[in-house]
């Protein structure tokens, strides 16, 4: 009976995994140098956690199930809610700010399509406990620093929800949310109709369209002409000043709405110049979830990077370490095992496991692409020698084992 | 609303994760040097995959669910079946033997108890395509080599199911399975009753109890007195000879049954001397699943290591790299950001994100345990200097930034 993998999921072959681990390690190195620490949460959570954060509508896109104890569970669709839950349960007493990162898989039930999978990987950062511009700027700079380390050309858009919310402050929460959704989709027609529907005041309508149309160098000045001096704009100005200190290039866009109601202030999105339509690879901002989850009034800022999309654009490939296969006969096998064990102290080393003859062993070494073979024939063994063969050039020389190891150690 | 983590699962704090990643990397280094390659399969599979391998009874211990497309899915309870499924679907044409490893989470629904979790981590190896003693011996030696690299004192028991099955060959499959279960549980009383029940011949009964009671140096000779010269015993003798070449210490135990019907030949178990009752940390053997999953008659050998148990016994702890916090005032902040970015090229570096004053910043550095602080005061900045403070000794000196970086680079 032939069984397939579940639709929309993937098996990763060795060459996939090598590249994925390589890229993962580059990211780990960057965040560690920025002083962030890894945490890990369970793969499934109580369904409540995600509906509390995102509303009941999210259930339609979630892998949820009733466990054998009759509890409603969900495979996590994202990691911000689990990290905030973990913070509330276990880390409230830790010195602030907490600088955390995660690298985990997430799940969503949706129609499988190119580049979208039902199980996918997210790398992300959550900086908990600071409401300063410094925190917002650091998080953005860290995201850009990761992409930089991966040689990915990322285009950064930064905005601030406080400014658009200031313009909408006369409307009720439901109207604000609805407008944010149109803004997020860049659906100007839909937005226009909706504003008609709710009889939005003319100046609100004018200010809103002006604000989301702002771009270029003097974006903050233009915004100030609309809103006047408000604290949100001053906070945003400080973030921008810090981004300059980090030498980060950005585009200001007050039309970023992120489509998620729990963002409170700065929001940003990074697009990969090399990807097609679905070219957002990172998104984040500052948000407030901890109170909702039963903790104190603690602000946080974070981002998520879609690791699978990163793997599509990242041209960095791992360089395999040089490897060797020890070739032996039945009579030299025990010595060959000993030699293989010596070699495994310094490099990946294979030995025949199929009772193949000499020629078939060499052919296998060629098939699996080892860089060297180290041949232990019967005559060689008697003379206390081995033959080291460079599989690329075909060159070979007869050496003592010690000499051969010294030679291999240079690679 | 306060939400907890699901019962029987865990959140991992930064210090947990650091040690877990450290141990994981030691294991990765060993298997890579042995020439094994990582693969990864989806977190959930069609439920069929696991019932086909282990029978319908396993459903009671599995996290299974019906997805939105009405398919029966299961969070994987183990990884051998997924790896074999992946082999059948995608790797049949790869040169043999395939040397694969995985490091992933698994799930089981059972009463939570000390040291047993509903989500747990397995490291494992599957060597596909060889029916030689060499493959069996390599897999055992690799498992021991991993434990050795972790300074874990593992006690290895090795057996061979072919020998006990030879003694039971007159019985039907159901009877054989039942007997293997009693043997696996070391339930001699239950076994005795069952043999009575099925009216087992007296010589079968005598041979069986003699075989599972064998121990010590001349175990193979003693077994031969019971079974005579059979190919299974000769195969086992070859494995033992190879284990000697690998300089592995072992105890022969023909009573290892592993409780799983798909094992065919060599079986082994490794116990940690430091653990209590549940002290098995590794188990494996040679088995046949590929045909069952729709592939060819391809033998395989593998093992799984319980990573959570490993973390209980492994005394190896990561040594944190030296870290630094840059201390600044509001007037030196932009320069401090630049300096922090320089430091992040060489070590984990923090900068204040809370607009704290000088003293509070130093106190935070102390709280989070950075090894150094690099102080950029206003007067220091004017003089082109910084103060480098060793937080352990309290010693501090005034240096140029270049000198300070050179000094930190030594750590």
| Least Cα separation, residue A91 to chain B (angstroms) | 8
pLDDT score of A258 more than 80: no
B33 contacts in A (CB within 8 Å)? 344-349
Encode pLDDT of B360-373 as tens digits.
Answer: 999 999 999 999 99
CA distance B272 to A289: 44
Do B70 and B145 lie in a common domain? yes
Asked if the C-beta of B126 comes within 8 angstroms of chain A's C-beta atoms, the answer is: no
Encode pLDDT of A230-246 as tens digits.
Answer: 999 999 999 999 999 99
Do A42 and A153 lie in a common domain? yes
Per-residue confidence at B395, pLDDT binned at 50, 70, 90? very high
Note whether A16 and B331 are within 8 A (CB): no
Encode pLDDT of A288-321 as tens digits.
Answer: 889 889 999 999 999 999 999 999 998 878 888 9
pLDDT for residue A260: 66
Query: What is the SS3 assignment for A2?
Result: coil
Q: What dihedral do alpha carbons A244, A249, A255, A257 form, nearest 10°?
A: -80
CB pairs under 8 A between A and B: 248
A337 contacts in B (CB within 8 Å)? 242, 245-246
pLDDT score of B261 more than 90: no
Give residue for tokens 């965040």.
A31
Asked if the C-beta of B19 comes within 8 angstroms of chain A's C-beta atoms, the answer is: no
DSSP, res A321: P
Strand partners, A373: A325, A389
Do B305 and B335 lie in a common domain? no
pLDDT for residue B145: 98
* Containing structural domain, residue A352: 324-409
> Which has more confidence, A269 or B177?
A269
Do A248 and A379 lie in a common domain? no
Per-residue confidence at A259, pLDDT binned at 50, 70, 90? low
According to the annotation, is B280 in a ligand binding site? Answer: no
Domain boundary, last residue among A279, A313, A347: A313
- Strand (E) positions, B7-118? 37-38, 44-46, 64-66, 72-75, 98-107
Per-residue confidence at B410, pLDDT binned at 50, 70, 90? confident
Mean pLDDT of all residues in B58-82:
94
Asked if the C-beta of A371 comes within 8 angstroms of chain B's C-beta atoms, the answer is: no
Decide if B3 is inside a domain.
no
Structure tokens at A410: 């240079």
pLDDT for residue B81: 95
A46 contacts in B (CB within 8 Å)? 3-4, 6
Decide if A1 is inside a domain.
no
**Between residues 250 and 279 of chain A, which touch chain B (CB distance below 8 Å)?**
none
Q: Which H/E stretch holds residue A376?
A: strand A372-376
Mean pLDDT of all residues in B121-140:
97
CATH of the domain at B401: 3.40.50.800
pLDDT for residue A107: 97
Asked if the C-beta of B319 comes within 8 angstroms of chain A's C-beta atoms, the answer is: no
Query: What is the SS3 assignment for B20?
Result: helix
A323 contacts in B (CB within 8 Å)? 35
In chain B, the residue whose alpha carbon lies closest to the alpha carbon of A130 is B354
Note whether A119 and A11 are within 8 A (CB): no
According to the annotation, is B79 in a ligand binding site? Answer: yes
pLDDT for residue B53: 85
Do B285 and B192 lie in a common domain? yes
Question: Can you give the length of chain B in residues?
Answer: 411
Decide if A298 is inside a domain.
yes
pLDDT for residue A15: 94
In chain B, the residue whose alpha carbon lies closest to the alpha carbon of A105 is B43
Measure Cα distances from B91 to A387, B39, B97, B126, B387 in Å: 32, 11, 11, 13, 59
Per-residue confidence at B171, pLDDT binned at 50, 70, 90? very high
How many CA atoms lie within 13 Å of B163's alpha carbon, on the beta-carbon side? Answer: 34
Strand partners, B156: B270
pLDDT for residue B114: 78
pLDDT for residue A273: 82
Q: What dihedral do alpha carbons A241, A245, A246, A248 form, nearest 10°?
A: 60
Share of residues in chain B with pLDDT > 70 (%): 98
CATH of the domain at A177: 3.30.930.10
Decide if B6 is inside a domain.
no
pLDDT for residue B277: 55
Mean pLDDT of all residues in A191-207:
94
Do B162 and B228 lie in a common domain? yes
pLDDT for residue B318: 85
Radius of gyration of chain B (CA): 28
B2 contacts in A (CB within 8 Å)? 88-89, 293-294
pLDDT for residue A262: 78
pLDDT score of B212 more than 80: yes
Encode pLDDT of B186-196 as tens digits.
Answer: 899 999 999 99
Backbone angles phi, psi at A309, to 5 degrees: -70, -40
Residue A212's Cβ-count burial label (10 Å; 0-12, 13-18, 19+) is buried
B228 Rama class: left (phi>0) / alpha (psi -120 to 50) / beta: left
Mean pLDDT of all residues in A386-395:
96
Domain boundary, last residue among A313, A347, A376: A313
pLDDT for residue A276: 61
| Least Cα separation, residue B87 to chain A (angstroms) | 10
pLDDT for residue A184: 86
Per-residue confidence at A401, pLDDT binned at 50, 70, 90? very high
**Between residues 92 and 121 of chain B, which touch chain A (CB distance below 8 Å)?**
95-97, 99-100, 105, 107, 109, 119
| Least Cα separation, residue B220 to chain A (angstroms) | 20
Mean pLDDT of all residues in B114-118:
85
Encode pLDDT of B66-76 as tens digits.
Answer: 999 999 999 99
Share of residues in chain A with pLDDT > 90 (%): 83
Do A293 and A336 lie in a common domain? no
Q: Count how many domains chain A has.
A: 2
Decide if B282 is inside a domain.
yes
- List the single residue in B69, B97, B367 with the smallest CB-CB distance to A354: B97
Do B236 and B148 lie in a common domain? yes
Structure tokens at A357: 């003859």
Do B366 and B223 lie in a common domain? no
pLDDT for residue A100: 98
Q: CB distance B33–A127 less than 8 Å?
A: no
Asked if the C-beta of B307 comes within 8 angstroms of chain A's C-beta atoms, the answer is: no
Decide if A37 is inside a domain.
yes
pLDDT score of A277 more than 60: no
Decide if A2 is inside a domain.
no
Do A146 and A43 lie in a common domain? yes
pLDDT score of B1 more than 80: no
pLDDT for residue B217: 82
Asked if the C-beta of A47 comes within 8 angstroms of chain B's C-beta atoms, the answer is: no
Note whether A233 and A165 are within 8 A (CB): no
Q: CB distance A351–B65 less than 8 Å?
A: no
Angle CA B60–B64–B65, to nearest 5: 135
Per-residue confidence at A278, pLDDT binned at 50, 70, 90? low
Do A399 and A250 lie in a common domain? no
**Binding region of A:** 78-80, 108, 122, 126, 258, 262-263
pLDDT score of B278 more than 70: no
Backbone angles phi, psi at A106, to 5 degrees: -135, 170
Give how far the C-alpha of residue A263 lies from the chain's centroid of Cα atoms, to the nearest Å. Answer: 20
- List the single residue in A68, A119, A127 with the smallest CB-CB distance to B42: A119
According to the annotation, is B178 in a ligand binding site? Answer: no
**Between residues 133 and 172 of chain A, which touch chain B (CB distance below 8 Å)?**
134-135, 138, 145
Structure tokens at A252: 């200001």
Encode pLDDT of B201-211 as tens digits.
Answer: 999 999 999 99
Note whether B43 and B76 are within 8 A (CB): yes
Domain boundary, last residue among B251, B279, B313: B313
Q: What is the pLDDT of chain B when averaged over all its residues? A: 93
Decide if B155 is inside a domain.
yes
Mean pLDDT of all residues in A373-387:
94
pLDDT for residue A217: 82
Per-residue confidence at B259, pLDDT binned at 50, 70, 90? low
In chain B, the residue whose alpha carbon lies closest to the alpha carbon of A242 is B334
Do A309 and A328 lie in a common domain? no
| Least Cα separation, residue B343 to chain A (angstroms) | 8
Per-residue confidence at B260, pLDDT binned at 50, 70, 90? low
């Amino acid at each position: 009976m032939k069984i397939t993998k579940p639709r929309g999921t993937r098996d990763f072959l060795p060459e996939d995994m090598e590249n994925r681990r390589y890229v993962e390690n580059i990211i780990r190195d960057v965040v560690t140098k920025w002083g962030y620490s890894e945490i890990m949460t369970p793969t499934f959570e109580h369904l409540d956690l995600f509906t509390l954060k995102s509303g009941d509508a999210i259930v339609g896109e979630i892998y949820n199930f009733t466990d054998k104890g009759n509890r409603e569970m969900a495979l996590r669709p994202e990691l911000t809610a689990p990290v905030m839950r973990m913070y509330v349960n276990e880390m409230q007493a830790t010195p602030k700010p907490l600088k955390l990162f995660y690298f985990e898989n997430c799940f969503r039930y949706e129609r499988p399509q190119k580049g979208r999978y039902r199980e996918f990987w997210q790398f992300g950062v959550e900086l908990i406990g600071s409401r300063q511009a410094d925190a917002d700027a650091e998080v953005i700079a860290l995201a850009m620093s990761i992409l930089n380390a991966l040689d990915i050309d990322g285009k950064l858009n930064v905005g601030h929800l406080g400014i658009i919310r200031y313009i909408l402050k006369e409307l009720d929460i439901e109207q604000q949310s609805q407008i944010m959704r149109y803004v997020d989709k860049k659906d100007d027609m839909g937005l226009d109709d909706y504003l008609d529907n709710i009889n939005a005041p003319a100046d609100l309508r004018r200010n809103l369209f002006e604000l989301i149309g702002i771009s270029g160098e003097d974006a903050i000045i233009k915004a100030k002409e609309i809103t006047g001096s408000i604290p949100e704009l001053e906070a945003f100005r400080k973030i921008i000043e810090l981004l300059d200190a980090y030498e980060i290039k950005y585009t200001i866009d007050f039309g970023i709405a992120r489509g998620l109601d729990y963002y409170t202030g700065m929001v940003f999105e990074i697009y990969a110049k090399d990807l097609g339509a679905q070219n957002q690879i990172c998104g984040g901002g500052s948000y407030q979830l901890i109170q909702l989850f039963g903790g104190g009034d603690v602000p946080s800022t974070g981002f998520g990077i879609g690791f699978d999309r990163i793997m599509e654009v990242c041209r960095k490939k791992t360089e395999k370490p040089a490897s060797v296969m020890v070739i032996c006969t039945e009579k030299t096998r025990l010595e060959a095992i000993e030699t293989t064990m010596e070699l495994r102290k310094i490099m990946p080393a294979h030995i025949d496991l199929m009772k193949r003859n000499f020629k078939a062993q060499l052919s296998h070494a060629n098939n699996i692409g080892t860089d060297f073979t180290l041949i232990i024939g019967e005559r060689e063994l008697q003379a206390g020698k081995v033959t080291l063969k460079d599989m690329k050039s075909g060159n070979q020389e007869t050496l003592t084992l010690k000499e051969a190891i010294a030679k291999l150690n240079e690679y």
